Chain A
């Protein structure tokens, strides 16, 4: 019988799970845990500068590697600082484990110093959470938490542990098998729904695939390609689905949704059969639900049955993991090529390509900057983004072609995600180049993490798209509030001096001609680098489906609508 403290049991359990990195921040309630870190050198603790960043870093780590991301915070303010990151990870189904300390058991419920009812707070935003009241429960709870986070529809799991439970001695007993009654992991689809889906797909004249984040989460890009090629079915990606199919694949037609291409949105609207794969019919991807192609037959494959029929009527719901279901469907469908349909889409694309091009001229635009970064960094690099215009331009122009290449906050749309997520991605993939495309607004929410990156030697390249505005909000004020700019213009600090203050290289780029050299210089630098791209200030993202409009009401741009 091995007796250990709760702290040792926790760290021992994490080691059993193969966790090698924890992003965290200490405080009173987790002191007994920090006390034991030196005794477990296999686990590397990354000291961040703000708990939100610890959470986003764990999220970026998980998205880049496919492995469980782990973040740790103390009770009260430490725990509440994690809430945005927890919600962000859960919204995008990222396998993450959040651990918090709490006040000692005897003080729970008495509003003690730094007590927050954090399990109450996170309850609606997690896949599951636990309050562990005895050291002897820690191992089983951590095993179960990791199991839930990384299986089925992945997600955020939170474990709260009172301070004295870290100190309590208990027997360490590692469960080799987890059993959670009430939790079932869908795998293959049942034969009946596969037959039904195949019949609908075989009868289709204008089929289209909506490929979502599930393809990437399930590592099913190869299965997607085979399925689409057999059925001759064009593929559209959601924002988070980018990377599920290479952009240059013959059946790949890029991103759909609010800032998707004209041809993608019209293809979605003109199809007679929609095959939605690992996506949740989000309003940003679908436009106005009632008019998202009401006559199309929808086959929806998802691991989470609650997504079927949640937002749109689904004729043929298929419950299962796309990794399993796609080979089943590939076997069940007939080989097709849909020549006329594809020709129709190709024509549409060549007629409308202009609305998805880097603007001509020699001004320094975000579109130009991000496409150059993509060109130089290549498909092996990892890109993260913040939220706003730069995010949409990154999605449109960075030629995302590999799963896990593009890391962005889709569901929650969290500004400030870019820098810490890149830090986490770099910690997970030290041999890859990691670029973060930052908004000048979002960068200022979390750039304190440069200090962490310096300490940890994480050479993230931070490309700030400095437009002097909360650009996306400014765009909406311009288009939908009669140019009434309120609280969107920002005076900026000198970003190059910020770089200097952290002892890293800072490069200002104010002209197109400087872009390539700046990117090369940044890539060659062994440390983190800030690039301050002084881009055009009042550019708008096109095409656009105004909020509340249907996909087929895509507007290509002010100067282009009247063409």
Chain B
């Protein structure tokens, strides 16, 4: 069943200000962002933003369409959780005396996390997993005392060979029609002179 949480994936132009445009849009329209993660992609000049929003399905629809209106957003899709791989990474610094290390490592092993830093009073645990798994680990670590923590926010990709749809250009037929009725074909400049 659809929760009230939607994962929106957007390919955006890697330009100054693009994050500002997106966050400004969310603020202005009152969309509730739960997390937002940005990173590079296989294509130079294009970044992927994974945005988790809360709200009814009608909000997800608006989020997608309003994002799509931004010129710097190349394509957007709302990912279906069942058909996507969704992950999040957390670093958790837990209070840990040397005599507690064994016990904490056992917990971390169960979740297939790893310890990436150790001091006499703390350890840092790293886990990449779905959000629910992360939450479960955090609950198990809470009794030891969580000193600080950071999560990346969710990132996601559709399962299987499908990729985020790329821009579709005007068909030849559309182009002819545009010309027939005196409209600008795509890419043509307005009242362009030689």
Query: Measuring CB to CB, which residues of chain A are less than 8 angstroms from any residue of chain B?
Result: 15-18, 67-68, 119-120, 123-124, 127-128, 131, 143, 146-148, 150-151, 175-185, 187-188, 304-306, 308-310, 321, 323-324
In the complex, the answer to whether A146 meets B190 with C-beta atoms within 8 Å is yes
Q: Which 3 A-B pairs have the closest CB atoms?
A: A18-B191, A182-B74, A306-B65
* Cα A435 to Cα B36 with chains together (Å): 51
Q: From B13, B20, B28, B66, give the contact of A182 (CB < 8 A).
A: B13
Q: From A150, A305, A308, A323, give the contact of B68 (CB < 8 A).
A: A305
Q: From B17, B174, B189, give the contact of A178 (CB < 8 A).
A: B189
Query: Measuring CB to CB, which residues of chain B are less than 8 angstroms from any residue of chain A?
Result: 12-13, 16-17, 20-21, 24-25, 28, 58, 61-62, 65-66, 68-75, 167-168, 170, 174, 177-178, 181, 183-184, 186-193
Q: From B21, B61, B69, B167, give the contact of A181 (CB < 8 A).
A: B167
Whole-angstrom distance from the CB of A266 to the nearest CB of chain B? 28
In the complex, the answer to whether B189 meets A143 with C-beta atoms within 8 Å is yes
In the complex, the answer to whether B186 meets A17 with C-beta atoms within 8 Å is no
In the complex, the answer to whether A179 meets B187 with C-beta atoms within 8 Å is yes
Task: Provide 14 A-B residue pairs closer than 8 Å at the C-beta atoms, listed in order of the A residue.
Answer: A17-B189, A17-B191, A18-B193, A127-B71, A131-B17, A146-B189, A150-B190, A179-B187, A182-B12, A187-B183, A188-B174, A306-B65, A306-B68, A324-B181
In the complex, the answer to whether A124 meets B24 with C-beta atoms within 8 Å is yes
* Cα A185 to Cα B183 with chains together (Å): 11
* Cα A131 to Cα B72 with chains together (Å): 14
In the complex, the answer to whether B167 meets A184 with C-beta atoms within 8 Å is yes
* Chain A residue, CB-CB nearest to B178: A187
Using known A-B contacts A304-B69, A310-B62, determine if residue A177 contacts B187 with beta carbons closer than 8 Å. Answer: yes
Using known A-B contacts A184-B168, A305-B65, A310-B62, determine if residue A151 contacts B20 with beta carbons closer than 8 Å. Answer: no
Whole-angstrom distance from the CB of A225 to the nearest CB of chain B? 16
In the complex, the answer to whether A183 meets B66 with C-beta atoms within 8 Å is no
Chain B residues near A324 (CB-CB < 8 A): 177, 181, 183
Chain B residues near A182 (CB-CB < 8 A): 12-13, 70-75, 167
Chain A residues near B69 (CB-CB < 8 A): 304, 306
Whole-angstrom distance from the CB of B4 to the nearest CB of chain A? 17
* Cα A215 to Cα B46 with chains together (Å): 36
In the complex, the answer to whether B190 meets A187 with C-beta atoms within 8 Å is no
* Cα A304 to Cα B62 with chains together (Å): 12
* Cα A184 to Cα B71 with chains together (Å): 9
In the complex, the answer to whether A188 meets B24 with C-beta atoms within 8 Å is no
* Chain A residue, CB-CB nearest to B188: A177
In the complex, the answer to whether A16 meets B193 with C-beta atoms within 8 Å is yes
* Chain B residue, CB-CB nearest to A127: B71
* Cα A324 to Cα B185 with chains together (Å): 13
* Chain B residue, CB-CB nearest to A153: B69
* Chain A residue, CB-CB nearest to B67: A306
* Cα A347 to Cα B168 with chains together (Å): 50
* Cα A182 to Cα B170 with chains together (Å): 13
In the complex, the answer to whether B62 meets A151 with C-beta atoms within 8 Å is no
Using known A-B contacts A127-B71, A180-B71, determine if residue A185 contacts B193 with beta carbons closer than 8 Å. Answer: no
In the complex, the answer to whether A187 meets B71 with C-beta atoms within 8 Å is no
Whole-angstrom distance from the CB of B135 to the nearest CB of chain A? 33
In the complex, the answer to whether A323 meets B181 with C-beta atoms within 8 Å is yes
Whole-angstrom distance from the CB of B182 to the nearest CB of chain A? 9
- Taking A17-B193, A185-B170 as known contacts, 8 extra A-B pairs with beta carbons closer than 8 A to each other, sorted by chain A number, are A15-B193, A146-B190, A147-B189, A178-B187, A178-B188, A182-B72, A304-B69, A310-B62
Chain A residues near B75 (CB-CB < 8 A): 182
Q: From A120, A128, A177, A188, give the contact of B71 (CB < 8 A).
A: A128
Whole-angstrom distance from the CB of B169 to the nearest CB of chain A? 8
Whole-angstrom distance from the CB of A108 to the nearest CB of chain B? 11
In the complex, the answer to whether A123 meets B189 with C-beta atoms within 8 Å is no
Whole-angstrom distance from the CB of A149 to the nearest CB of chain B? 8
Using known A-B contacts A182-B71, A187-B178, determine if residue A18 contacts B192 with beta carbons closer than 8 Å. Answer: yes
Q: From A119, A175, A187, A306, give the contact of B17 (CB < 8 A).
A: A119
* Cα A131 to Cα B168 with chains together (Å): 28
Chain A residues near B13 (CB-CB < 8 A): 181-182
* Chain B residue, CB-CB nearest to A319: B65
Chain B residues near A323 (CB-CB < 8 A): 181, 183
Q: From A176, A185, A188, give the contact of B189 (CB < 8 A).
A: A176
